[in-house]
Amino acid sequence: MTEFIKLSAAELAGLVADGTASARDITQAHLDRITSTDERLNAFVTVDAEGALATADAVDARRAAGEQLPPLAGVPIAVKDIVVTNGIETTAASKILRGWIPPYDATIVTKLRAAGLVPLGKTNLDEFAMGSSTENSAFGPSRNPWDLARTPGGSSGGSSAAVAAYQAPLAIGTDTGGSIRQPASLTGIVGHKPTYGGVSRSGLIAYASSLDQAGPFGRTVLDAALLHEVIAGHDPADSTSLDLPVPLVADAARIGAAGDLTGMTIGVVSNLSGEGYEPGVVSAIAATVAQLEQMGAKVVECPCPHFDYALAAYYLIAPSECSSNLARFDAMRYGLRVGDDRQASLEAVMAGTRDAGFGAEVKRRIIIGTYALSAGYYDAYYGQAQKVRTLISRDFITAFSGCDVLVSPTSPIVAFELGPRAEDPMAMYAVDLCTLPASLAGVPAISVPCGLSDGLPVGLQIMAPVLADDRCYRVAAAVEASLNSPVLAAAPQL
């Protein structure tokens, strides 16, 4: 059944729609792939084989009954374990939620089910999406199919590993400061962070609410775009979701695949280069930019001076919102409870549970956030960070007055080895350098594989104005079309 797992989501959906293959056989092929590879990869926290096969059977029954199937019906998908799923354990890779069975589906899961996609299970992540390597997971790190000693990125590293290793053609991730784009870059696949508010947050376990955004992973730009269209759109259950038309991203991917960028101006962010950027990454990006120029785009340099402060602003804003959001884990209504001997006080049970249930990185961020929000420090830290956010947004507005999209590396480095960085929080934070500005400004950004550095994949990040997600997909599809063979084809066999 290897033929099924190597196909794109669009191709698989075609086979189901015309009756060449059953959703059950396609689903079983992917479940078999998970069985044969996940001991090495640790991409999944939970595999729901029974549920997946039942969903697949339902799609096959709909087709047999002569129903017109939605575009991705019968296609398996992996879902990051921070997205709540009715009846399926949802942990956020935290000991504090282990064993929690949510009583409802996130809006995006409801949309996946309505569209006939087949959820295979829940993927690993850094605890509560806080991290860049999956090393902060309570279930151990996921591994990169390109090199099992390296990270598949984070926080959505289980999702990126699953798609890159052909365990699933599609996956859902969430991105607060780069957690879709960076893992996509490090595993040689496509990942998109939609415009803030473009996809409902209802049913995502909140980390930093003004930044959190769910989005698609795929091995092709078109696959990611097709999934984007399934999950996007207004949701009354999320008051920050935009009540505006969803950008036509699948059409944009098809147009971009023709490889003609005539009339487009592409800005290269000069501030996202220099010291700390690996030479192999820099040269792969430069070669890709030259390729974009060959396809008819006009290329200009764009200074964005306040991007230099994005790291500092992010690591104040995100922990501040996290310290508030994670107050809900109080040992009272769901999740872990430690030390309740009917004598201990509520406060002792709460504090003991939170110490036992949260990992070190989550505790660090809660404490930093508590500090940044406390009286006497609020203006100097949180207040200033929110002002810097304004300045970063202005940099984007200025840049987009002269160009249609901005490009940069997605990550300054390729996939790094598990271990060394995990002990040094600031070294780990620094790998998010390129993805943070788009998060703080709420603009859409995609990562598309564009080459190799020392045999490991490099991703190009393409950023666009609010609700111009289609431009990200158009340029990404042009990059994809310009490659002689897909970057992922160079990955070793598992």
Which of these is catalytic: 22, 80, 202, 453? 80
Determine the Cα–Cα distance for residues 314 and 324; give it in Å rounded to an integer. 15
Residue with tokens 């310009």: 482
Residue 437 · residue 370 · CB < 8 Å: no
Minimal distance in Å, beta carbon 201 to other proteins?
A: 12
Mask of contacts with other proteins, 223-262, x by CB under 8 A?
A: -------------x--xx-x--------------------
Determine the Cα–Cα distance for residues 83 and 102; give it in Å rounded to an integer. 10
Residue 179 annotated as catalytic:
yes
Nearer to other proteins, 70 or 339 (CB): 339
Q: How wide is the angle at C-alpha 91 spanned by C-alphas 321 and 209, nearest 5°? A: 20
Binding span for other proteins by CB under 8 A among 68-76, 122-130, 386-394, 479-487: 386-394
Residue 155 annotated as catalytic:
yes
Binding span for other proteins by CB under 8 A among 45-53, 173-181, 335-343, 485-493: 335-343
Binding span for other proteins by CB under 8 A among 105-113, 260-268, 291-299, 352-360: 352-360
Nearer to other proteins, 324 or 482 (CB): 324
Q: Which amino acid is at 100?
A: W
Half-sphere exposure of 397 (CA within 13 A, CB side): 7
221-231 vs 469-482: helix crossing angle, rounded to 10: 160
Residue 227 · residue 218 · CB < 8 Å: yes
463 strand-pairing partners = 406, 445
The H or E element spanning position 462 is: strand 456-463
Q: Taking CB under 8 A as the rule, does residue 206 contact other proteins? A: no
Q: Taking CB under 8 A as the rule, does residue 84 contact other proteins? A: no
Q: Taking CB under 8 A as the rule, does residue 46 contact other proteins? A: no
23-41 vs 157-164: helix crossing angle, rounded to 10: 120
Mask of contacts with other proteins, 98-127, x by CB under 8 A?
A: --xxxxx-----------------------
Find the Cα–Cα–Cα–Cα dihedral 37, 41, 43, 47, rounded to 10°.
Answer: 30
Q: Taking CB under 8 A as the rule, does residue 494 contact other proteins? A: no
Please identify which residue in 14, 51, 259, 352 interacts with other proteins, judged by CB under 8 A. Answer: 352
Minimal distance in Å, beta carbon 12 to other proteins?
A: 34
Q: Taking CB under 8 A as the rule, does residue 383 contact other proteins? A: yes
Binding span for other proteins by CB under 8 A among 55-63, 180-188, 373-381, 413-421: 373-381
Please identify which residue in 11, 70, 260, 334 interacts with other proteins, judged by CB under 8 A. Answer: 334
Residues 255-314 close enough to bind other proteins by CB under 8 A: 306, 309, 311-313
Please identify which residue in 4, 44, 381, 473 interacts with other proteins, judged by CB under 8 A. Answer: 381
Find the Cα–Cα–Cα–Cα dihedral 421, 191, 437, 234, rounded to 10°.
Answer: -130
Find the Cα–Cα–Cα–Cα dihedral 268, 271, 272, 274, rounded to 10°.
Answer: 110
| Site residue total, other proteins (CB under 8 A) | 74
The sheet with strand 118-123 has its strands ordered as 44-47, 118-123, 76-80, 170-175, 213-218, 190-193, 445-453, 456-463, 405-409, 265-269, 298-302
Structure tokens at 253: 């991917």
Nearer to other proteins, 27 or 323 (CB): 323
Q: Taking CB under 8 A as the rule, does residue 331 contact other proteins? A: yes
Which of these is catalytic: 133, 142, 159, 179? 179
Determine the Cα–Cα distance for residues 469 and 453; give it in Å rounded to an integer. 28
Minimal distance in Å, beta carbon 302 to other proteins?
A: 19
Detail the DSSP E strand segments found in 165-317. Answer: 170-175, 190-193, 213-218, 265-269, 298-302
Residue 8 annotated as catalytic:
no
Nearer to other proteins, 47 or 310 (CB): 310
Nearer to other proteins, 180 or 285 (CB): 180
Which of these is catalytic: 155, 156, 185, 200? 155
Please identify which residue in 351, 422, 483, 494 interacts with other proteins, judged by CB under 8 A. Answer: 351
Residue 267 · residue 402 · CB < 8 Å: yes
Q: Taking CB under 8 A as the rule, does residue 17 contact other proteins? A: no
- Residues with catalytic roles: 80, 155, 179
